[in-house]
């Protein structure tokens, strides 16, 4: 690989041997990049590997998605890759991006941009640029403003991205105020990169995020949601979450998180609810088996959001938050709806928040087998996540108390396993189906069948499985009591 050079001597950045090898390895395993570069050069255009692809190569995180920029306009790009790409898509055409696939790699080729915002609109106004330098200057952060030209492998870094990558710092190519004024979502993206890469934001960036937090209101809920999801699924979401709260960004789209800082947990008065929540998120991550479990992480983050609204101080001075799980579930559903999360995702997170306190009290010996069945039935396919969330919620520093809670939950899981071995707890249903109910009562489909089905399910939960004769006798008893039969 040839030595890097930028348009000006002052902009030149020397690659370490390891970094040179990383970029060389990317290009070695991706001959497609050089092939594509030669096609653009033959057509009289430039092509540069750019942005996250270069950053990730330098970090040794090679992927199958490659980003390029070029002076060619979309129509010209299409002409160059026609007959070479195995698949082409134009969904990003309005933003100057043409997508393609070749040898299992996904390629995005974007025309140089001098993108700008009108300070009111929620979407960018795309203006094509004329040079690589102009394109790199408009990028969000210096670590994403580096390029490798193709096919000659020149490395361009006019804004010190390589230095910032080595220092693990997030900084903007232009002033933070200018960059965030163009696209306020970049403030949230800074927190996301801090979470994903375990980097720190530069003090100037932190200050601008704080002073300009209200500008995030210009961004659509969907764009905020997508960035926040990536943040929460980062390698270190706690760093990102702290940034959101400390800069005031969380207040713009998830004020419930900021509100937790004002409350004290009655179970662990050595820390406030906010710190407790961050610990629960960390604990939940430790229970993940592979990859990010967003539903579990989001439930851990929001499990106590009902506490501020339910706070009460007793005559003995103790703080309580009675029924905060009920209020928290309602707040969770409203917040995730406002952030435009899919209904099924929202329903699962909300259910976990509603159920997260159900376990407490089990250790006092009050649970019957019926209570265990209801716990399993109410959790449904969320039971494995509920196990993890409940265990994560134990953050007490009292070793004796922590050991007792863990032992109690071990006992509950053992009890669930024992009952499950005797009954089909995964599918707790009435002992008679709808057809049997209609035949026995002589009724057509309708509300009566639904009521009878619900009653038999309650009996199933309360007493366990009934044989056919007992189930029919119970149905007839209920029907007589309801005045449906004599």
Q: Domain segments of the chain: what residues? A: 9-167, 168-253, 283-426, 429-481
- Average pLDDT on 442-464 reads 77
Q: What is the pLDDT of residue 216?
A: 96
pLDDT of 6 over the 60 cut: no
* Common-topology check for domains 9-167 and 168-253: no
Residue 12: pLDDT band with limits 50, 70, 90: very low
The three-state DSSP-derived secondary structure of 400-444 is: HHHHHHHHHHHHHHHHHHHHHHHCCHHHCCCCCCHHHHHHHHCCC
Worst-scoring range by mean pLDDT, 205-219, 356-370, 394-408? 356-370
Structure tokens, 242: 């702290």
Average pLDDT of the chain to the nearest whole number:
85
Q: What percent of the chain has pLDDT over 90?
A: 53
At 243, the pLDDT band (50, 70, 90 cuts) reads: very high
Q: Using alpha carbons, select from 344, 360, 248, 358 the residue that is nearest to residue 298.
A: 344
Q: Which residue has the higher pLDDT, 436 or 46?
A: 46
Is domain 168-253 in CATH 1.10.110.30, yes or no?
Answer: yes
pLDDT for 52-108, tens place per residue? 999 988 887 878 899 999 999 999 999 999 999 999 999 989 889 999 999 989 999
**Per-residue confidence at 388, pLDDT binned at 50, 70, 90?**
very high
- Is residue 25 scored above 80 in pLDDT? no
Query: Residue by residue, what is the 3-state secondary structure of 267-327?
Result: CCCCCEHHHHHHHHHHHHHHCCCCCCCHHHHHHHHHCCCCHHHHCEECCCCCEECCCHHHH
Reading the block at residue 420, the tokens are 């499950």
Highest mean pLDDT range out of 60-69, 193-202, 408-417?
193-202
Q: What is the mean pLDDT of residues 272-301?
A: 94
Confidence at residue 310, expressed as pLDDT on a 0 to 100 scale: 75
Q: Identify the CATH number of the domain defined by range 9-167.
A: 3.30.460.10
d(CA 179, CA 172): 7
Q: Give per-residue pLDDT as tens, 28-45.
A: 667 899 999 999 999 999
Residue written as token pair 């998605």: 65
Q: Check pLDDT > 70 for residue 13.
A: no
Give the tens place of pLDDT for each residue, 108-152. Answer: 999 998 756 555 554 556 788 889 999 999 899 999 999 999 998
Place 11 in a pLDDT band, splitting at 50, 70 and 90.
Answer: very low
Per-residue pLDDT, averaged over 163-173, amounts to 95
149 pairs with which residues across the strands? 48
Record the pTM: 0.80
**pLDDT (average), residues 302-308:** 92
Local confidence band at 367 (pLDDT 50, 70, 90 cut-offs): confident
Predicted confidence band of residue 202 (pLDDT cuts 50, 70, 90): very high
Report the pLDDT value the prediction gives residue 44, as an integer from 0 to 100. Answer: 97
52 and 46 Cβ atoms separated by less than 8 Å: no
Q: How far apart are the first and last CA of the chain?
A: 92
Q: How far apart are CA 297 and CA 299, in angstroms?
A: 5
pLDDT of residue 274: 93
Q: Does residue 402 have a pLDDT over 90?
A: no
> Which residue pairs, CB below 8 angstroms and at least 24 apart, start in 326-333?
326/354, 328/302, 328/303, 328/304, 328/353, 328/354, 329/353, 329/354, 330/306, 331/256, 331/302, 331/305, 331/306, 332/302, 332/305
Other CB atoms within 10 A of residue 410 CB = 11
- Distance between CA atoms of residues 57 and 22, nearest Å: 5
Contact call for residues 393 and 356 (beta carbons, < 8 A)? yes
More confident: 475 or 117: 475
């Amino acid at each position: 690989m040839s030595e890097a050079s930028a348009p000006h001597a002052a902009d030149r950045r020397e690659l370490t041997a390891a970094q040179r090898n990383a970029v060389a390895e990317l290009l070695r395993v991706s001959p497609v990049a050089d092939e594509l570069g030669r096609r653009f050069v033959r057509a009289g255009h430039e092509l540069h590997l750019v942005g996250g692809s270069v950053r990730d190569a330098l970090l040794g995180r090679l992927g199958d998605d490659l980003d390029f920029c070029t002076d060619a306009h979309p129509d010209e790009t299409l002409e160059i890759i026609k007959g070479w790409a195995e698949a082409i898509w134009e969904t990003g055409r309005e933003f100057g991006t043409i997508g393609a696939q070749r040898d299992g790699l996904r390629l995005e080729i974007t025309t140089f941009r001098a993108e700008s915002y009108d300070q009111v609109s929620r979407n960018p106004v795309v203006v094509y640029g004329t040079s690589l330098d102009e394109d790199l200057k408009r990028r969000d952060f210096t670590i994403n403003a580096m390029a490798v030209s193709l096919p000659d492998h020149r490395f361009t870094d006019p804004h010190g991205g390589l230095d910032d990558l080595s220092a693990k710092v997030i900084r903007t190519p232009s002033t933070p105020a200018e960059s965030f004024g163009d696209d306020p979502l970049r403030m949230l993206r800074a927190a996301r990169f801090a979470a994903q890469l375990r980097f720190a934001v530069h003090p100037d960036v932190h200050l601008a995020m704080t002073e300009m937090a209200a500008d995030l209101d210009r961004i659509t809920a969907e764009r905020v949601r997508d960035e926040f999801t990536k943040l929460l699924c980062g390698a270190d979401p706690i760093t990102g979450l702290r940034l959101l709260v400390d800069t005031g960004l969380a207040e713009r789209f998830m004020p419930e998180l900021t509100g937790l800082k004002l409350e004290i947990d009655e179970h662990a008065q050595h820390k406030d609810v906010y710190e407790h929540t961050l610990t629960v998120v960390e604990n939940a991550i430790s229970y993940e088996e592979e990859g990010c479990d967003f539903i579990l992480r989001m439930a851990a983050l929001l499990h106590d959001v009902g506490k501020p609204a339910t706070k009460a101080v007793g005559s003995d001075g103790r703080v309580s938050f009675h029924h905060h799980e009920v209020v928290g579930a309602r707040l969770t559903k409203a917040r995730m709806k406002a952030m435009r999360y899919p209904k099924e995702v929202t329903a699962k997170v909300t259910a976990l928040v509603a159920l997260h306190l159900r376990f407490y009290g089990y250790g006092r010996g009050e649970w019957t087998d019926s209570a265990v069945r209801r716990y399993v039935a109410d959790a449904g396919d969320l039971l494995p996540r509920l196990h993890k969330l409940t265990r994560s919620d134990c953050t007490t520093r009292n070793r004796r108390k922590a050991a007792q809670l863990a032992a109690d939950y071990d006992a509950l899981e053992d009890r669930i396993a024992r009952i499950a071995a005797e009954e089909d707890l995964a599918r707790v249903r009435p002992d008679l189906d709808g057809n049997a109910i209609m035949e026995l009562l002589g009724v057509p489909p309708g509300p009566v069948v639904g009521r009878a089905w619900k009653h038999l399910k309650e009996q199933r939960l309360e007493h366990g499985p009934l044989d056919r004769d007992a189930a029919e006798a119970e149905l007839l008893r209920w029907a007589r009591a309801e005045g449906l039969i004599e």
